[in-house]
Amino acid sequence: MVEVAAASAAPERHIVVRPLRPADVASLESLIRSVENFSPAEMACAVELVELAAGPPPGADDYKVLVAETSAGGPPVGYACFGPTPMTRSTWDLYWIAVAPSVRGAGCGRTLHAEVERAVRAAGGRRLRVETSSKQDYDATCRFYQRVGYLPAGRVERFYADDDDLLILICEVKD
């Protein structure tokens, strides 16, 4: 578990990142359903991966979840879901990362991502891959990824739809 002061949060509201507990599943579902740029299909997929991560192996081996909450208590304010990329030696996928709208811009996403990197490194991983959409809805998200260390690694035109390309981003995990 790690505790970091959120830059612009009230002093009593430190961000605490900890492993998933089975009891988190319902509150993470509420958090996921509050994310404005997730489509219903994306929400369903994100919830399914949290359920797999909270269950027995092989789901829990394939999908890891870290949860962010504030030291003031209350439900999770953020989470990240990631896992080893099949058939690679040291590449991991960051499947989802989301922060509750009420605490965005205060360092929670960066703190979560740093803990994802720490967990990946501890497991022998060397890089994280993100696949995202080229749609304007995801511009802010792409700026977040860039700020935490991702570089563009590929683009597949019209992958999701005629007006929606697949963007592949890679973050080399820091030592």
Ligand X SMILES: CC(C)(COP(=O)(O)OP(=O)(O)OC[C@H]1O[C@@H](n2cnc3c(N)ncnc32)[C@H](O)[C@@H]1OP(=O)(O)O)[C@@H](O)C(=O)NCCC(=O)NCCS
Residues engaged in binding ligand X (CB under 6 A):
35, 37, 96-99, 104-110, 140-141, 143-144, 147
Q: How far apart are CA 60 and CA 10, in angstroms?
A: 34
Instruction: Name the residue with tokens 């994802």.
Output: 116
The smaller minimum CB distance to ligand X, of residues 71 and 141, is found at: 141
The smaller minimum CB distance to ligand X, of residues 56 and 136, is found at: 136
Output the smallest distance, CB 88 to ligand X, in A. Answer: 20
The residue number with the shortest CB distance to ligand X is: 109
The smaller minimum CB distance to ligand X, of residues 71 and 124, is found at: 71
Contact 13, 71 (CB under 8 A): yes
Q: Which of 22, 5, 23 is nearest to 14 (CA)?
A: 5
In sequence order, the 6+-apart residues with CB closer than 8 A to the CB of 31 are 75, 76, 77, 78, 79, 98, 100
Output the smallest distance, CB 146 to ligand X, in A. Answer: 8
Output the smallest distance, CB 173 to ligand X, in A. Answer: 17
